[in-house]
Structure 1
Amino acid sequence: MAATLVNTFGNGAYLATGTLFLTRSVGLSAAQVAIGLSSAALAGVVLTTPMGHLADRRGPKQVQILALLLSAACFAGLTRVDGLWSFVPLACLLAVGDGTVKAANGALIAGAVPPPDRVRTRAFVRSANNAGVALGALVGSLPLALDTRAGYLAVLFGNAATYLLAAGIVRRLPDVDPVAAPAGGPAMVALRDRPFLAFAALDGLVAALYNALLSLALPLWLVTFTTAPVTLVSAALLINTVGCVTLQVRASRGTRTATDAIPVARRGALVVAASCVLFGLTAHRPDGLVVALVLTGATVHVLGELWLASATFAVIFDLPPPWAQGQYQGAHQTGRQIGNLVAPPLLTALVLGGGVPGWLGLAAIFTTAGLALPSVIRRCLRTAGTRTPPVSPPCSPGLERSAPR
């Protein structure tokens, strides 16, 4: 939690200032920034699962520390960027480093925390993540307001320092031993697990949509279809942040296994769908009614998000075999990265192009996902027991070895 809070504090400051640094200080065009970010997303999709596999083979703690150190060097390197071709390699390395940190962190929790406590631990980490990003974005507003190169460079060096500090904190965690893969089996078992890949893709799209709904779709909607103040977006984001920081652990209670996650995932998706309907009802309404509907919709939205996140944690900890936690965490991150590519244009097309029917279409997507997720999870559960267990050395005479999970 401490490492996450420190690291995401720096990330929050960079998220608030990074785009303007690249365009106003470096001089990149919006199209060039988009090229760099798209290249980074592609690199993350291709390499995150293999890096998760590396965490299994070399130990998640060591791989996470290396990824944090690499990311620190890349953020320091961004201060020297002077064009597109110096930006693209660093952006790709940062995307791979970010995916590796998350995959290795998941494997570290799986290896260091008893199974009944993993979802609760991950919920605490998510609370710390949201708190760090929110505080960092608040601090980042100062250099954003100054709009000077010195201010932007201070954010970059400060973010690099948070990665170094996070690496130092992770170094104090208990070691999790590398795990040997089964002899003769495929190296990338996660990429052969079609039911899990289906879950990762569907969950990745759902998460990307609910994450961008308040920060992208709602602002575009309010300025186009209402006369309400845009500051409503800040209020909605505040409700979301406070809810995620204070209620994520409570929302995860009773959700420990993939079986537990089935009704929770359904409920969460349907509740987010209801928030979409509430947001859609604000079109051309009096400002007072718009305020009430947006604040209510934001509250409903965060409840659904909390349940969906809790269900996700239970699935991604419960389904992977013990020798492949890292690569399964990486495969799940890949689904998130693909969702992050699809969600912005989809939301923009639905909300700006569709109007009220667009919000209803978005509600239909969440409803369909809520009805589909239970079937996908059940299919994952049916195939989870068919994997070959790792080969263990013979037991010493007179000792019994418990059967692998």
Structure 2
Amino acid sequence: MISKFLPAPGTPRVLMFATLVNTFGNGAYLTTSALFLTRSVGLSPAQVALGLSAAALAGMVLTTPMGYLADRRGPKQVQIVALIVLAVCFTGLTQVRELWSYVLIACVIAVADATVKAANGAMIASAVPQAERVRTRAFIRSTNNAGIALGTLAGSLPLLLDTRAGYLAVLLGNAVTFLLAAAVVTRVTAVARMSIPAGAPRMVALRDRPFLAFALLDGVVAALYNEVLSLALPLWLIAHTRAPVALVSAALLVNTIGCVTLQVWASRGTHTAADAVGVARRGALVVAASCVLFGFSAGQPSWLVAVLVLAASTVHVLGELWLSSATFAVVFDLAPDWAQGQYQGVHQTGRQIGNMVGPPVITALVVGWGAPGWSALAAIFAVAGLTAPHIIRWGLRQASRRSAAATCPAAAAQPTALA
């Protein structure tokens, strides 16, 4: 009976437990990081923002090469090393006293964190049958959300104490969880290192135009739907309603419960990029509908705002789950078996670009335009939902030509095969 609530034994289950361990520590750190850096280290909010921007840039530049390294050296080994590096970095944060040491460590953390994600995806692609990849990735995402939620609760006590000792305990505790996660990953069966086929470019993912387009679109869409509840909603409630800001906590609770309990359900029937075409469209349009519901709360009584916010949050999480399932299928299916790591890296780079673009777009629309801003945000999701199927089909055609070129020397000479 319990097996219904767990991925398959072996690599999928081991990766799930490793994820639970290290995201628990991450959740605690994310809860306390802003106050630690400003109140304990003494950095200004502008300096913290500078460090985060530098980290995002480092991640964008280096994540794909690290994914390439995971393919060449083996994702298990690369993931273990990256987890150990993260443990060292979070231990090093306890000694930060000025801006530049923080910037350096933040950059290494960003690259190592993205490397863990890319290697994790490559390991699933190599060790799990194609029909089970998306389901396994859905279990990982559910566990990720559960771990962060539990870690957030654990981090609330040091946050309330607001002491340097409490913040340092969180940092060292997070470092320990990375070491424990690395120890768990050692139990994964190692997969073979991938060699580059003769005549294929080393960084094939960077020459795959449809995949680059998908990674960018998906990165922006994911950043926007992630910021709807954490950024847009609180700003909206403060600026355009009289409802209590506590509604944000209720909306986030709805989202967390949905992501933890329904992600595997939402992934059913989505195994390939072809399956993802309709799922991606549906997910984006459903998120668009949630934005319309949020916009309807303008000027309404507090009780009606609460009803609309909770209804919109429920609709939002369903769209988010379908979008995530579609993304898993596309990333796994469009990548050649020998380049799963670098494709995962390119996808992470798209997410990092989206994380830079999303907050200012959300703020400008929702705070600057009010209710029409929610309609504009809904239009962005709708356009993305109608565009994604065309990009996915383009990627499928590209993958088909690449596969044909790999089996036909004459076709391999055609530049379109790797354009």
Q: TM-score, normalised by structure 1?
A: 0.96
User: Is residue 60–residue 108 contact of structure 1 (8 Å, CA) maintained in 2?
Assistant: yes
Q: Is residue 2:227 matched to residue 1:227?
A: no
Q: Is residue 2:165 matched to residue 1:111?
A: no
Match of 1:399 in 2: none
**Please, which of 32, 36, 40 is the counterpart of residue 25 of structure 1?**
40
Match of 2:357 in 1: 342
* In structure 1, distance between residues paired with 2:132 and 2:98: 47
Distance apart, 1:355 and its partner CA: 0.5
Match of 1:283 in 2: 298
Q: Is residue 2:142 matched to residue 1:160?
A: no
Distance apart, 1:270 and its partner CA: 0.2
Q: Which runs of 5+ in 2 are unaligned?
A: 1-15, 408-419
| Counterpart secondary structure, 1:263 | helix
Amino acid at match of 2:149: A
| Counterpart secondary structure, 1:385 | helix
Match of 2:225 in 1: 210
* In structure 2, distance between residues paired with 1:17 and 1:261: 37
**Identical counterparts, % of pairs:** 72
Over 3 Å counting, the alpha-carbon distance change for 1:390 and 1:377 in structure 2 is closer
Over 3 Å counting, the alpha-carbon distance change for 1:11 and 1:197 in structure 2 is same
Q: Is residue 2:161 matched to residue 1:141?
A: no
User: Is residue 182–residue 388 contact of structure 1 (8 Å, CA) maintained in 2?
Assistant: no
Structure 1 segment 348-363 matched on structure 2, within 5 A: 348-363=363-378
**Please, which of 131, 136, 159 is the counterpart of residue 146 of structure 2?**
131
Q: Is residue 2:336 matched to residue 1:321?
A: yes
How many residue pairs are counted as aligned between the two chains? Answer: 392
* In structure 2, distance between residues paired with 1:389 and 1:70: 40
Q: Which runs of 5+ in 1 are unaligned?
A: 393-405
After superposition, give the CA deviation of every residue in 1:139-173 in whole Å (9 maximum; x if it has no partner): 11111111100000000000000000000000101
CA RMSD of aligned residues (A): 1.1
User: Is residue 103–residue 326 contact of structure 1 (8 Å, CA) maintained in 2?
Assistant: yes
Distance apart, 1:389 and its partner CA: 8.1
| Counterpart secondary structure, 1:185 | coil
Q: TM-score, normalised by structure 2?
A: 0.92
**Please, which of 152, 161, 186 is the counterpart of residue 171 of structure 1?**
186
Amino acid at match of 1:279: F
* In structure 2, distance between residues paired with 1:342 and 1:183: 38
Match of 2:22 in 1: 7
After superposition, give the CA deviation of every residue in 1:77-132 in whole Å (9 maximum; x if it has no partner): 00000011110110000000010000000000001101000000000000000000
Distance apart, 1:246 and its partner CA: 0.3
Distance apart, 1:222 and its partner CA: 0.4
Distance apart, 1:391 and its partner CA: 8.3
User: Is residue 183–residue 390 contact of structure 1 (8 Å, CA) maintained in 2?
Assistant: no
Structure 1 runs of 4+ aligned residues shifted over 4 Å read: 388-392
* In structure 1, distance between residues paired with 2:105 and 2:169: 18
Distance apart, 1:385 and its partner CA: 1.9
Over 3 Å counting, the alpha-carbon distance change for 1:390 and 1:151 in structure 2 is farther
Distance apart, 1:283 and its partner CA: 1.1
Distance apart, 1:207 and its partner CA: 0.5
* In structure 2, distance between residues paired with 1:95 and 1:325: 20
After superposition, give the CA deviation of every residue in 1:56-86 in whole Å (9 maximum; x if it has no partner): 0000000000000001100000000001111
* In structure 1, distance between residues paired with 2:354 and 2:52: 14
Distance apart, 1:386 and its partner CA: 2.3
User: Is residue 13–residue 159 contact of structure 1 (8 Å, CA) maintained in 2?
Assistant: yes
Amino acid at match of 2:99: L
Structure 1 segment 5-404 matched on structure 2, within 5 A: 5-387=20-402
Match of 1:397 in 2: none
